[in-house]
Structure 1
C-alpha cells in the first residue's frame, strides 16, 4: 500500500512538470515528436529536451519558452500557461531571465545548406565577372582610345543641361524609401525570429537559415519583431538597406518593422528598444 501511495505521489508531481504535460497532451492526440516537429518546424532534439526538462541542451531561455508555447498550441494547451510554468521551472533550476543566449546553434534542416558544387559554381562566376570588369575598365581608361573634345562640341550639351536641369548626382535620382514600401528581412546566418502584429497575432515564427528572407505583410497592423540575434538580420525597404535592428547577442522585442516605423527610427537615430531576454 505504501508503495502504491508513492507511485501516486510521483504521478502527481509529474503533472506539474511542463515537459510531462506537453508529452501527455501529445500522446492523447496520437502524435509523435516528429509530427510536432513538422507542424511547428522546431528541431526534434529541442522538443525532446523540453519534454525531458533538459534546459541546458536548449539554445537559450527565450528560445525554450517560445518553442514550448508553439508546442502547446499544437497539442491544444494554453501557450500562456505553459510559458508561465516553464519560466518558473527554469528559474528554479537556475536558468534566470538574464542568462546569456547561445549564439551558435545549428540550422534545423541540414538539407537547406547549399551543396558544395553550387558554392564552386558561384565562385567561378564571380571570378569571370571580375575578369570581365577589369578588361572593360582597362579598355575604357586606355589613353590611346580617348578622343579630344572641342569647345564647340561641349557647348550644345551644356546649353541643353542649363535649359533642362536634371539630378545633381546619382544619389539624388534614387527615390528615398517610402513609409509604405515593402520591408524584407534577410538572414545572414542562422537566426530564430517571431513577427507579430499590434494584437499579438503571430505573422511568422521560425528559424531562418543564412540567405532566407521574409517579407513583412504590407497590410499588417504595426508589425513587430522578437529575436535573440538582431545582428544576424539585414533590413531593406524597397530594396534599400536601413540600419540594423540591433547589435550583439541581445534579445529585442516589440521593435516595429513596418516601413514607417523603420524610417522613423532611422530619422531619430533611436536604437532598437525594449531589449529583454523574454
Structure 2
C-alpha cells in the first residue's frame, strides 16, 4: 500500500498544533506595584472612581490624594496626616487600611520623610457644594464696594454740614439719659469642683485626634469613631490637642460640657485642654442665621 504524504505538523487523522512560548513573557515582578500610591490609584481606576469622587468620600482635599498617588510626600502636611489620609483612601476603595498604613510608613522611612511635619494650615472642605460660586463671590464683592462708597459719601456730607444729623431730645428723655447706667455684673468665676474633674473627649462622628503634652510627648493618637471617648490624664503637663474636625468632639470637664474647641471644618492645634484652660475659655459666638 503506498504511503500518503502529510503536511508538516500533521499526522493521519490528527493535527498537531505547535504553540511557541516566547521568551519575552512578562515576569511576576512586572505586575507588582512599586509604591503604595500606585496601588491605591490602580484600585481607584478599577472601581471607576475619579479623584473628585474620592475627595467627597474621604473628605480629604483632592490635591493631597493626588500627592499620595504620586508619592510626592513633600507636598503633604506631615507624615501623621499622610498616614491618616492614606488609611481613609484605602477604606474608600475597600483595601486593607492597616497594611496600606504599614507599607506607607516603610516608604516614608526609606524616602526620609518619616516624622516630617509641615507648617500647620487650615484645610478647606472638599465638598464643591460648600464652595461659593464665582458669580456669588463677585456679587458679594460688588455689594461690599457699594457699601464702602455709600459710607464715605454719607460721611463727607455730614462733615461739610449738608446733612443735619442732630435731633432735639425731649425733656423726659434727657432725664433718662442723665441717669447713670447700672454696672454690669461680674462674670461668674469658674466652678472649682469642675476644675478638679476629669477632661473627657467624646466623638460624635469619625475624627482623627492627637493629644500631646508640653514636652511634645504623645499621650493619645487615634481615628476615633462615633461613641469613642478619651479621658485626659489629670497629671498631664499642659495637655494639648490637634484635630481637623473640632465640631464633632464633645468636651466635658467634671461632667460639665464646655464650648466647642473651634469652628467647624477648621484645624485646631496646640490648643491646651487642661481643666483650667477649658473653663477659662470664652465661648465662641455663633453667627445668627
- Name the TM-score, length of structure 1 as normaliser: 0.47
Pick 1 or 2: higher relative contact order, CA cutoff 8 A, min separation 6.
1
- Name the TM-score, length of structure 2 as normaliser: 0.46
